[in-house]
A and B are shown apart, each in its own frame.
Chain A
């Protein structure tokens, strides 16, 4: 290969000093300047540390409160959610833990209820802000989505294609976040929800609320997608562990309706 590549990891996140007797073992690890094992493990809360990792600074109290609400809201989508269902299918049949979480990430990644929907919804916040006319224009003419290996989205990101009205937990989450974020996108969403739902023709979904709050926290679309994937894993993990204990005979196998059965063929 003619092109030159470096042989170090360049990072503004993580710094190490080696042990004096082992260049492959770190004696000191700093995250954005803070001593992880000397200070953070006893002084920092988990969500504070997560925010530090992501944004390079500590969250203020209001942001920490919002992070807590979002982490709890996302932690368990419940066993009907495709990501948890996929994890349980792996767990019930005895697949390794990594398979369980990879299954959850795979079935929870897409634009129909998955983390990509949060990413796309956050892009709408970036592009349209709190301009209702811009939102209506975007809803009427969705942006092209790339890369093209993703199936094209089939509904307005952040809204529920199968909803008949805004679901109670969505309203509860929106209300809790509106109180914690009284001046940003989330409050505007709460005030303009009905108008947006009328434009979309479908009700607001949880992913739409999550995206608004992530936008208020200053997260990029990529960061929001990543956090959504991460924060949904606890529910997938525990439901899979439960199904592993119960065994595959208690797990639905469902019924098919084969439409093109050639019937038994004589050899």
Chain B
């Protein structure tokens, strides 16, 4: 007898919420239309994933951080999926959903972001217990060969253009750089000392350091990030719709560079 599943049959216990059609909707224990009447969408979104209601200044920063990484460059891999979906006359939802899930990449997006969030949390705890940051970085490099969130896949040696504007936004909102943002810069310096290379912090690190400073966990920070690229995706989809069908990233046959086995017969 599978007791656990038997105990979970029947009505689904929930604290997420429920709609009462024609009457009201409950969102995380609050009446959606009363408690959030004048709220930004982002406030509701963050409350839904964390149970926290952030200050307006914090919300402004987090929303701006999405703005700063809204790059409608159709070459970027997640955006390219949106563009190709438009080119083949697929739907906007297909473009957006596939673009978001593709952003769970190893090279960019949610892969590096979750990795660096995990390291920041561990490094913060270790440094508060007196650990040496250079030793922590050395150990992380030995474990994973490289440190996600430092050194960009393109333009690796340059300061990520999104970081100065984020720091300015924090200042504009009257929010001092928190311990995780400071730790990120300390890790950048430690990485340079340990490797002898200049590997500037990428925006991935800033994208998780700020929500961590605002009290979100690493997992909540990941969930905060999920819509971060979508404003850049849809212009690529829309523009592809405006081109002739199939004309976005048109590829002639000779642009397939084959390096496999020679022609053979299936006998």
Query: Residues of A at under 8 Å CB distance from B?
Result: 1-3, 7-18, 23-26, 30, 32-35, 39-40, 43-44, 56, 58, 96, 98-99, 102, 106, 146-149, 162-164, 254-262, 264-265, 267
A9 near B266 with CB under 8 A, answer no
Give every chain A residue within 8 A of B14 (Cβ-Cβ). 256-259
Cβ contacts under 8 Å, A34 to chain B: 264-266
A259-B254 contact, Cβ under 8 Å, with A56-B261, A163-B2: no
Per-residue interface assignment for chain B, residues 254 to 267, with 1 indicating a CB less than 8 Å from any chain A CB and 0 otherwise: 11111111111110
- Contact in complex: A265, B31 (CB < 8 Å): yes
- Determine whether B34 belongs to the interface, using a CB cutoff of 8 Å to chain A: yes
Cβ-defined contact, A9 with B257, below 8 A? yes
**How many residues of chain B get a CB closer than 8 Å to chain A's CBs?**
59
What would 11 A/B residue contacts be, using CB atoms closer than 8 Å? A2-B155, A9-B255, A13-B260, A14-B260, A35-B265, A56-B260, A99-B93, A147-B114, A162-B5, A255-B10, A257-B14
Complex interface: chain B residues within 8 A of A258 (CB): 14-15, 17-18, 26
Q: Nearest CB to that of B223 among chain A residues?
A: A149
A184→B137 CA distance, assembly (Å): 42
Q: DSSP majority for the B interface?
A: mixed
**Residues in chain A near residue B263, CB distance under 8 A:** 30, 33, 35
B176 within 8 A of A: no
**Within 8 Å of chain A (Cβ to Cβ): is B142?**
no
Nearest B-chain residue to A96, judged by Cβ = B91
The reply to whether the CB of B227 lies closer than 8 angstroms to some CB of chain A is: no
A134 CB to nearest chain B CB (Å):
22
> When the two chains form their complex, are residues A262 and B91 in contact, meaning their CB atoms are under 8 A apart?
no
User: Contact between B2 and A267 (Cβ–Cβ < 8 Å)?
Assistant: no
Cβ contact of B97, chosen from A30, A102, A162, A164, cutoff 8 A:
A102
Report B1-37 residues with CB < 8 Å from chain A CB.
1-2, 4-5, 10-15, 17-18, 23-24, 26, 28-31, 34
Interface residues of B (CB under 8 A from A): 1-2, 4-5, 10-15, 17-18, 23-24, 26, 28-31, 34, 90-91, 93-94, 97-98, 101, 104, 106, 110-111, 114-115, 117-118, 153-156, 158, 218, 222, 250-266
| CA of A11 to CA of B218, assembled, Å | 38
B110 to chain A: which residues have CB within 8 Å? 147, 149
B260 touches A33 (CB 8 A): yes
Which chain A residues lie closer than 8 Å to B257 at the CB level?
8-11
> Would you call A23 and B155 a contact (CB within 8 A)?
no
Closest to A10 in B: B257
Cβ contact of B252, chosen from A24, A33, A254, cutoff 8 A = A24
Question: Chain B: which residue is nearest A52 at the CB level?
Answer: B266
* Option from A2, A13, A43, A256 in Cβ contact (under 8 Å) with B18: A256
Q: Tell me how far the C-beta of B209 lies from the nearest C-beta in chain A, rounded to whole angstroms.
A: 16
Q: Tell me if A254 and B256 are in contact (CB < 8 A).
A: no
> Which residues does chain B contribute within 8 Å of A259, judged by CB atoms?
13-15
Smallest CB-CB separation from A24: which chain B residue?
B252
For residue B147, give the distance in angstroms from its CB to the closest CB of chain A. 14
Asked if residues A23 and B252 are in contact (CB atoms below 8 Å), the reply is yes
State the Cβ distance, B148 to closest chain A Cβ, in Å.
9
Residue pair A26, B265 in contact (C-beta under 8 Å): no
CA distance A18 to B252 in the complex (A): 8
Q: Which of A1, A15, A163, A264 has the most CB of B within 10 A?
A: A15
Decide if B2 touches A164 in the complex (CB within 8 Å): yes
